[in-house]
Amino acid sequence: MMRYVIPLCIVLSIVSCKEVATEPRVEVISVQEMEEVLRAESVQLIDVRTRNEFASNHIKNAKNIVYQGDDWAAQISELDKDKPVYVYCQKGGRSAKCAALLEEAGFEKIYDLEGGISQWTAEGKEVE
């Protein structure tokens, strides 16, 4: 009996120390996926482009929180970290960086629009 206890303890300690795989917090989504979500529910939709870019066009109901803006931290602190947040920029570069910052800030689930608003408009989707 004793000869089984030690190997069993070793196996259990290895298994218990192994990191548990977690679902990634940031997910890149397509225009179609974003459109479906926006149609179905009210979401935290963040446009991280400059104020001038936002003024020229943006997705309906988006909030403009400028990437690397002076008030970035203050504005994201007003968002609900437990609810999904959707981000986009012009083509996807800035929103990917912002998604990483949101993840660091403790947001549970972040969705990043693939191709940004450029892809959104290229697929004929409505902007304001």
Both tokens of 60, joined, read: 């309906």
Measured CA to CA, the distance from residue 60 to residue 21 in angstroms comes to 36
pLDDT at 102 over 50: yes
Q: How confident is the model at residue 107 (pLDDT cuts 50, 70, 90)?
A: very high
Q: Write out the H or E segment, with its range, that includes residue 29.
A: strand 26-29
pLDDT at position 27 is 96
pLDDT at position 97 is 96
- Give the right CATH number for 23-122 from 3.50.30.50, 3.90.105.10, 3.40.250.10, 3.30.390.10: 3.40.250.10
Q: How confident is the model at residue 22 (pLDDT cuts 50, 70, 90)?
A: low
Q: Which positions are annotated as active-site residues?
A: 89
Q: Which whole-number Å values give the CA distances from 94 to 24, 43, 60, 62, 116, in the listed order?
A: 19, 20, 19, 16, 9
Check the CA dihedral 68-70-75-76 and report its sign. Answer: positive
Both tokens of 110, joined, read: 């972040």
Amino acid identity, position 104 = E
